[in-house]
């Protein structure tokens, strides 16, 4: 396939992956700005991996890393930053001595509350730009894609296990 320089650039900058990535980065940037203004100036984009995977009842660092699709070492480093700020406690996993559990502290719970508020503000900003109806349509489509992708991913993993 032969493409002109212009056609190649058009495809590169309008493919679905790039569009999703750019919207995601912009949304995260807006939410992060709101969180920084709420008293968390040290937060950076990498910290969103921890915030998305923190669980009030605690979560293993390896499970958090898997969910965030980053290495255990990277997640451990990020969790230790949250621990140093008093937002997480790190405990041994009673069920698996090789694993550590990140448990949300009261200050960490406050961060999560502020995080939800920041996400709502970022959503409101987006709704102001594209309209509430369009935003809800986008949410519906993204849920559909996520749910279908999760189903397909489970089917692929099940088939892979059967072949072993």
Residue 2 lies in a domain: no
Q: Is residue 65 part of a domain?
A: yes
**Structure confidence by residue, pLDDT tens digits, 88-145:** 999 998 888 788 999 999 999 999 999 999 999 999 999 999 999 999 999 999 999 9
Tally of domains within the chain: 2
Sign, CA dihedral 46-52-57-62, equals negative
Q: Summarize the confidence of residues 69-83 as an average pLDDT.
A: 97
8 or 28, higher pLDDT: 28
Residue 89, C-beta contacts closer than 8 angstroms, at least 6 positions apart: 83, 102, 103, 105
pLDDT value at residue 99:
87
What is the three-class DSSP state of 144? helix
Q: What is the Rg, in whole angstroms, of the alpha carbon atoms belonging to the chain? A: 19
Residue 1 confidence (pLDDT): 66
Question: pLDDT value at position 98?
Answer: 84
Judged by average pLDDT, the poorest of 6-10, 81-85, 116-120 is 6-10
Say whether both 103 and 139 belong to one domain. Answer: no
120 in any annotated domain: yes
The model's pTM is 0.81
Q: At what angle do helices 61-68 and 72-84 cross, to 10 degrees?
A: 120
Same domain, 126 and 136: no
Bridge partners of 90, per DSSP, are 102
Pairing outcome for strands 96-104 and 59-60: antiparallel
Residues 6+ apart with CB under 8 A from 40: 111, 114
Q: Sorting pLDDT into bands at 50, 70 and 90, what band is 150?
A: confident
Mean pLDDT score across all residues of the chain: 92
Residue 164 has pLDDT above 70, yes or no: no
CA distance 150 to 144: 10
Percentage of residues in the chain having pLDDT higher than 70? 91
Both 111 and 46 in a single domain?
yes
Note whether residue 10 is domain-resident: no
| Same domain, yes or no: 49 and 114 | yes
Cβ-contact 40, 114 below 8 angstroms: yes
For residue 161, what are the domain limits?
132-164
Predicted local confidence at residue 111, as pLDDT = 98
101 versus 153: which is more confidently predicted? 101
Give the per-residue pLDDT at 151. 73
Check whether residue 117 and residue 156 sit in a common domain: no
């Amino acid at each position: 396939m032969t493409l002109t320089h212009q056609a190649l650039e058009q495809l590169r900058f309008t493919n679905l992956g790039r569009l999703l990535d750019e919207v995601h980065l912009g949304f995260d940037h807006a939410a992060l700005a709101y969180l920084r203004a709420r008293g968390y100036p040290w937060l950076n984009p990498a910290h969103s991996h921890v915030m998305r995977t923190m669980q009030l009842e605690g979560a293993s660092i390896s499970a958090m890393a898997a969910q965030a699709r980053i290495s255990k070492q990277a997640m451990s480093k990020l969790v230790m930053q949250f621990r140093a700020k008093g937002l997480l406690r790190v405990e041994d996993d009673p069920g698996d001595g090789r694993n550590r559990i990140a448990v949300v502290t009261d200050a960490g719970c406050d961060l999560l509350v502020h995080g939800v508020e920041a996400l709502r503000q970022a959503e409101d900003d987006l709704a102001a730009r594209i309209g509430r109806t369009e935003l809800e349509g986008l949410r519906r489509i993204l849920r559909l894609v996520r749910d279908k992708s999760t189903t397909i991913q489970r089917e692929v993993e099940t088939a892979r296990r059967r072949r072993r």
